[in-house]
A and B are shown apart, each in its own frame.
Chain A
Amino acid sequence: MTLTPSEGGVSVTARDFSTNMGGLCQKGWTSAEVLSVGDRIITPLLRGASGALEPTSWEQALAFIAQRVQLLQTTYGVDSIGVFGGGGLTNEKAYQLGKFTRTVLRSRHIDYNGRFCMSSAAAAANRAFGIDRGLPFPLADAGSADAILLLGSNVADTMPPLVQHLARVRDRGGLLVVDPRRSATAALTADGAGVHLQPLPGTDLTLLLGLLHLVIAEGHADQAYLEARVTGWDDVRRSVALWWPERVADITGVAEPVLRRAVEVLAAAAPARGGRGAMVLSGRGVEQHTDGTDTVTAAINLALALGLPGRPASGYGCLTGQGNGQGGREHGQKADQLPGYRSIEDPAAREHVASVWGVDPATLPGKGVPAVQLLDKLGTEIRALFVHGTNLLVSAPDALAVRARVEALDLLVVCDFVPSETALLADVVLPVTQWAEEEGTMTSLEGRILRRRKAIDPPGQARSELSILADLARALGSTVRFQTAPAEVFDELARASAGGVADYSGLSHALLDEEVAGFHWPVPVGSTGSPRIFGRRFGHADGRARIVPVSPGSPHDDLRPEAPLYLVTGRVLAQYQSGAQTRRVPALGKSAPAAFVELHPALAGRYGIEDGDDVRVTSVRGSAVARARITSAIRPDTVFMPFHWSGAGMANAVTNSATDPISGMPEFKVCAVDIARVPAELLEEDVHELAR
């Protein structure tokens, strides 16, 4: 988008760019309003003797933090300080946060909210391809494909401009959508535009094994490709022999002819069979499960069997959620990672990065733990937490338990620009700059590095995290050098990433300003970027992809007589993440005012619920109350809640924090619940109880 400073803020216009084709959704159009929300935090806040957050000076706030951190580290050790980052931070901030944690705090405990988004797809892509870039091709390639299989991704609500890239595929009848709801995206398959597969929640992996079985049974596997480019095919071929379509239909609830039709469409679109291209794209719906990594692996296996990755308008990709969901996971916010998508356990990587940072590699901590485990340690092993760009009190699974653990901390420092639910619990709140107020870079879902430019000055005393971290480093007595100018931080990031998987070393802010279309990484010095990365080889040392057999698990919290329904959670178009930003924009509040429970008329009838009634959704962890929205677009054994709200309608009070053993991704997308209609007179009491 293009920003023009105007009276009292900026005005937004859409920029014609190949990724969004000039489109913006309502959140984009109204984004300028977030800059000037009425309760914007513009001074540092410190919890005073009265127990309330009170304005203070930067000097006092930072001195307070430094003193408490030093005390806690002396008492409990360096690892007693945790850092929780976000996928919305610029590359520069994410990089600096990782560096600060490893060199100043010297704690191993850093992770970020991207663990809740991208981690399963990232783990599966790394395992299969030796490299994790959301899309290994430009999004615009989708316009040339004959078929696209969208797995658990509701792009029509979560990134509407992307729908423009689906137009041609729909004209060709090639849009295949897997979703337990007939979402706005699934509805795009109507009228011959494609096929909607509507499986029982928790059975996505079984469904994918069934599709792969059919690919093999019907002779569509691309043998020449598999021999030339893939290792492990024989084991995978055998592993799906037991997933014949009739069995898969009875487990998933997807009719057998629908399974066959989907495979027919996908196979015909494969370039090896004369098609113009087929893509398999995954979203959070299939990823946020305890078998999420294996589910994405099954999706990749399907793509490999059909010979798609590296072929024109074809391959596997993951649709990133947050603005910098890709870049945020490349430069050191992840528990096990150093800049350039390097492993923190690789001695060569440690040596290289330590030399850029000017520290002894031996002083760098080892790997920490993924987000949910990190949150589990709050109040025990971890005594203080820095939170950057995330509202984990609303966005973390089993959120009521997370709140209790956050309350047990000795120190909570939150950097934010609005008083989010998490900020309101902090001992110190530091006001920070947001998008239109800062320089930096973001990396899109296509691995494309793009510039973010400053249009206006930040309000009040708000500062960039870059300068906050530099000041804190000094206050903590560190001699490690922290740049504060974004272009200089980027130059250092580029050097640190040199030779890594996500190599930015050929880039600078100046170069990115010249080439507004951005560069796809890897961009080593002298390179012009890599829009398509799998044409000749994959990221593993031998250049071959790994195809790995997987088998389905079942939801960690599964159906039983007292919890006979599945809850799935997701997004609505007009809100973003925990809603901390978007709930403050009146136009968005008007479009999506409150949480709701979507349920099928047959289910509503069984429970005596009418449209608009208040419904309580209860799991073993907690419950949420929201308005009933009755629709036949959802399976009768499943209810849906959006997760953007706090208070009584907080979906994450109900969700499960069980995680995928490989990626650490929590199982947001399925848990067992019961529902009940809440008589109107009871509700008010309840709300009070929940608020307490």
Chain B
Amino acid sequence: MSSPAERVLVVGAGMVGHRFVDELVRADRVGRFEIELIGQETYEPYNRILLSEVVAGRADLKALSLPLPDSERVQFRRGVAAVELDLAGRRVLLDDGTATPYDRLVLATGARAFVPPIEGLERAPRHVHVLRTLDDCRNIAARAMNAKHAVVLGAGLLGLEAACGLRRRGVPVTVIDVDDHVMATQLDGAPARMLAGRLRDLGVGVITSSSIAEVINAYDEIVAVRLADGRLLAADLMVVSCGVRADIRLAADAGLAVDRGILVDADQTTACAAVHAIGDCAQGLEPMTGLLAPGWRQAERLVAVMRGSTVEIAADAPRTPVREQVRLKATGVDLVTMGVRASQAGDDDRLVTLTDSRARRHVDLVIRDDTLVGVTCLGAPEISAALSVAFERRTPLPVDPLTMLVPEGRTEEPASPVRMPGATTVCRCSSVTKKDIVTAWEGGARTPDGVAAVTRAGTGCGGCREVVCGLVDWLNASDPDIATATGPPASRHVVARL
């Protein structure tokens, strides 16, 4: 490579920016790119997905740190924020007063937690938090040590994880949502009501079709919330989980086209050819879900574009919004949803539903042309992972989908030696059947060791010795005369019993 390296500047060291850099370093073996990564947080990159696990006390912080970018290939600056894009000058101004140039700019600025306007919040009372960063997570976990009543505003995926996590730490908690059921983005009413039941079983209060009208403070601390219907709930910890808003300020200020996110084409490229956006800050062909998987796909796609491969977007692009695979992480609740939900199933689809109110179980399968296109699975951990695999890998389905809902029963019962058929293999190591043992016994072998000497049953792994002993005892007991006789046994008599 004779041409000088292309300078790639990545703004945002969250999970998508991090993934993009990792993929680009892997793909670029010849050093075509010189990469700089700017991260606003002072922490090393971490797995944001697991913050709710830390709140729940289920994951050590050590389990969150992501691999550091290869220091030989990537200049990584953390604790530094970009403050302005100079598109004409191809540089980014930073909050430490410096500027850094680029040939190609990748915006992975992510999203910020959305906090709705609520009376009382304007005074920024203590112990009200969003859950977006490691600092948020630490603050919530610290407060959970002595909180008496927590409220979580928003019963989406993250809100429920936070609520379950706080409950696991022993904090009484109530989750409040404006929709008429929990996880409305992912769930239909029926499974959502079942989920709410499960949450209540765990001690999590659930209030739907309501909202918080006012946060009541005393001495700059939250003490209670007043709901829209006037109810008052004591609260000394509040987590706001009302979704996110793309962080588009830098792009908008620089005059790039923005809507809810930074507008990009199928190649993740903005109106300016040298500037790309990926992850939560980007608004492209896919719906903006706030989920990780689409962001990772965009990172991979952009790397492919930068390597010069023509990406097969065309086939993917016009597809109807697919419900991404979403799995709730919470002790005691197993919920996974993906693809078409029951209420969207068409007339030609096959919709199979299992509802088990006592066990708080609800499963919807949507099958289209013999393919599993939608799964909602609550309270059935023994099948949910298998359904995920069948959905993702599109493996052949059984003719009767009901069998997918029933985990394999143990069909082999520990057979009594007396009742097992003659052809049953007793000793696998030496392939000895019950009939072989009976034959040996008829031939005069009246002890387990005697039977072993003739048939070798029990001389391999030894796992069948108990059964061999049982058979010999049964045979000996069956005819004491024969057992003690010295002459040839009445074989016909024994065989007839088989």
Chain B residues with CB under 8 Å of A605's CB are 398-400
Q: Is B53 part of the binding interface, using a Cβ–Cβ cutoff of 8 Å?
A: yes
Q: How large is the interface on B (under 10, 10 to 19, 20 to 34, 35 or more residues)?
A: 35 or more
Q: Is A160 part of the binding interface, using a Cβ–Cβ cutoff of 8 Å?
A: yes
Contacts A161-B461, A244-B49, A252-B385 given; does A237 touch B396 at CB 8 Å: no
Residues of A within 8 A of B (CB-CB), count? 63
Which of the segments B54-62, B88-96, B244-252, B482-490 contacts the partner chain?
A: B54-62
Contacts A253-B385, A255-B382, A256-B334 given; does A14 touch B459 at CB 8 Å: yes
Contacts A162-B461, A603-B398 given; does A29 touch B456 at CB 8 Å: yes
Please encode chain A, from 581 to 602, with 1 for each CB lying within 8 Å of some chain B CB and 0 for all others. 0000001001100000000001
Instruction: Report Cα–Cα, A244/B66, bound state, in Å.
Output: 12
A249 touches B53 (CB 8 A): no
B53 to chain A, nearest CB (A): 7
Q: Is B283 part of the binding interface, using a Cβ–Cβ cutoff of 8 Å?
A: no
Contacts A235-B67, A244-B329, A256-B381 given; does A164 touch B462 at CB 8 Å: yes
Instruction: Report Cα–Cα, A217/B46, bound state, in Å.
Output: 13
B63 touches A241 (CB 8 A): yes
Q: Is A564 part of the binding interface, using a Cβ–Cβ cutoff of 8 Å?
A: yes
Q: Is A85 part of the binding interface, using a Cβ–Cβ cutoff of 8 Å?
A: no
B376 to chain A, nearest CB (A): 14
A24 touches B459 (CB 8 A): yes
Partner of A242, one of B66, B400, B428, B459: B66
Partner of A163, one of B58, B329, B404, B461: B461
A255 touches B381 (CB 8 A): yes
Partner of A253, one of B67, B389, B461: B389
Chain A residues with CB under 8 Å of B124's CB are none
Instruction: Report Cα–Cα, A157/B395, bound state, in Å.
Output: 29
Please encode chain B, from 374 to 413, with 1 for each CB lying within 8 Å of some chain A CB and 0 for all others. 0000000110111011101111111110011000101100
B455 to chain A, nearest CB (A): 10
B461 touches A249 (CB 8 A): no
Chain B residues with CB under 8 Å of A573's CB are 428-429, 431
Contacts A253-B388, A255-B384, A602-B398 given; does A237 touch B429 at CB 8 Å: no
Q: Is B336 part of the binding interface, using a Cβ–Cβ cutoff of 8 Å?
A: yes
Instruction: Report Cα–Cα, A157/B390, bound state, in Å.
Output: 29
B428 touches A184 (CB 8 A): yes
Q: Is A559 part of the binding interface, using a Cβ–Cβ cutoff of 8 Å?
A: yes
Main secondary structure of the interface of B (DSSP, over half): loop
Give residues of chain A (182-238) contacting chain B, Cβ–Cβ below 8 Å.
184, 188, 190, 200, 213, 216-219, 221, 235, 237-238
A-B contact count (CB 8 A): 166
Partner of A637, one of B50, B59, B60, B396: B396
B140 to chain A, nearest CB (A): 18
B5 to chain A, nearest CB (A): 25
Q: Is B491 part of the binding interface, using a Cβ–Cβ cutoff of 8 Å?
A: no
Q: Is A542 part of the binding interface, using a Cβ–Cβ cutoff of 8 Å?
A: no
Instruction: Report Cα–Cα, A389/B334, bound state, in Å.
Output: 53
Q: Is A26 part of the binding interface, using a Cβ–Cβ cutoff of 8 Å?
A: yes
B389 touches A561 (CB 8 A): no
A219 touches B428 (CB 8 A): no
CB-nearest residue of chain A to B26: A551
Chain A residues with CB under 8 Å of B67's CB are 235, 238-239, 241, 549
Q: Is A23 part of the binding interface, using a Cβ–Cβ cutoff of 8 Å?
A: yes
A190 touches B410 (CB 8 A): yes
Chain B residues with CB under 8 Å of A636's CB are 395-396, 398
A211 to chain B, nearest CB (A): 12
Partner of A251, one of B334, B389, B396: B389
Chain B residues with CB under 8 Å of A23's CB are 429, 459-462
Chain A residues with CB under 8 Å of B321's CB are none
A603 touches B396 (CB 8 A): yes
B459 touches A29 (CB 8 A): yes
Chain B residues with CB under 8 Å of A160's CB are 428-429, 460-461
Please encode chain B, from 333 to 375, with 1 for each CB lying within 8 Å of some chain A CB and 0 for all others. 0101000000000000000000000000000000000000000
Q: Is B325 part of the binding interface, using a Cβ–Cβ cutoff of 8 Å?
A: yes
Q: Is A686 part of the binding interface, using a Cβ–Cβ cutoff of 8 Å?
A: no
Partner of B393, one of A200, A237, A242: A200
Q: Is B65 part of the binding interface, using a Cβ–Cβ cutoff of 8 Å?
A: yes
Chain A residues with CB under 8 Å of B400's CB are 605
Instruction: Report Cα–Cα, A415/B58, bound state, in Å.
Output: 60
Chain A residues with CB under 8 Å of B396's CB are 564-565, 603, 606-607, 636-637
A199 to chain B, nearest CB (A): 9
Q: Which of B384, B389, B399 has the most CB of A within 10 A?
A: B389
A237 to chain B, nearest CB (A): 6
Give residues of chain B (312-327) contacting chain A, Cβ–Cβ below 8 Å.
325, 327
A15 to chain B, nearest CB (A): 12
CB-nearest residue of chain B to A23: B460
Q: Is A457 part of the binding interface, using a Cβ–Cβ cutoff of 8 Å?
A: no
A564 touches B429 (CB 8 A): no
Contacts A241-B47, A244-B47, A246-B329 given; does A200 touch B389 at CB 8 Å: yes
Chain A residues with CB under 8 Å of B404's CB are 602
Q: Is B478 part of the binding interface, using a Cβ–Cβ cutoff of 8 Å?
A: no
Instruction: Report Cα–Cα, A241/B382, bound state, in Å.
Output: 25
Q: Is A250 part of the binding interface, using a Cβ–Cβ cutoff of 8 Å?
A: yes
Instruction: Report Cα–Cα, A631/B385, bound state, in Å.
Output: 21
Instruction: Report Cα–Cα, A514/B96, bound state, in Å.
Output: 78
Chain B residues with CB under 8 Å of A29's CB are 430, 456, 459
CB-nearest residue of chain A to B395: A637
A410 to chain B, nearest CB (A): 40
Instruction: Report Cα–Cα, A234/B498, bound state, in Å.
Output: 64
Chain A residues with CB under 8 Å of B62's CB are 216, 221, 237
Q: Is A385 part of the binding interface, using a Cβ–Cβ cutoff of 8 Å?
A: no
Chain B residues with CB under 8 Å of A24's CB are 429, 456, 459-460
Chain B residues with CB under 8 Å of A561's CB are 394
Q: Is B116 part of the binding interface, using a Cβ–Cβ cutoff of 8 Å?
A: no
Give residues of chain A (586-642) contacting chain B, Cβ–Cβ below 8 Å.
587, 590-591, 602-603, 605-607, 632, 636-637
Q: Is B443 part of the binding interface, using a Cβ–Cβ cutoff of 8 Å?
A: no
B431 touches A26 (CB 8 A): yes
B66 touches A250 (CB 8 A): no
A606 touches B461 (CB 8 A): no
Instruction: Report Cα–Cα, A127/B68, bound state, in Å.
Output: 22
Q: Is B64 part of the binding interface, using a Cβ–Cβ cutoff of 8 Å?
A: yes
Partner of A559, one of B49, B50, B384, B393: B393
B66 to chain A, nearest CB (A): 5
Instruction: Report Cα–Cα, A241/B65, bound state, in Å.
Output: 6
Give residues of chain A (1-29) contacting chain B, Cβ–Cβ below 8 Å.
14, 21-26, 29
CB-nearest residue of chain B to A185: B461
B439 to chain A, nearest CB (A): 15
Give residues of chain A (444-475) contacting chain B, Cβ–Cβ below 8 Å.
none
A302 to chain B, nearest CB (A): 14
B428 touches A156 (CB 8 A): yes
Chain B residues with CB under 8 Å of A221's CB are 62
Q: Is A574 part of the binding interface, using a Cβ–Cβ cutoff of 8 Å?
A: yes
B434 to chain A, nearest CB (A): 15
Chain A residues with CB under 8 Å of B463's CB are 156, 163, 188
Instruction: Report Cα–Cα, A253/B410, bound state, in Å.
Output: 19
Partner of B385, one of A157, A163, A250, A603: A250
A167-B462, A257-B381 known, 4 other contacts, Cβ within 8 Å: A163-B460, A217-B63, A218-B59, A605-B400
Interface residues of A (CB under 8 A from B): 14, 21-26, 29, 156-157, 160-164, 167, 184, 188, 190, 200, 213, 216-219, 221, 235, 237-242, 244, 246-247, 249-257, 549, 559, 561, 564-565, 573-574, 587, 590-591, 602-603, 605-607, 632, 636-637
Interface residues of B (CB under 8 A from A): 46-47, 49-50, 53, 58-60, 62-68, 325, 327, 329, 334, 336, 381-382, 384-386, 388-390, 392-400, 403-404, 408, 410-411, 428-431, 456, 459-463
Name 8 A/B residue pairs within 8 A (Cβ), A-sorted: A14-B459, A161-B460, A238-B68, A241-B63, A250-B327, A250-B389, A255-B385, A256-B385
Give 4 nearest A-B pairs by CB, closest first.
Answer: A602-B398, A163-B461, A591-B431, A217-B63
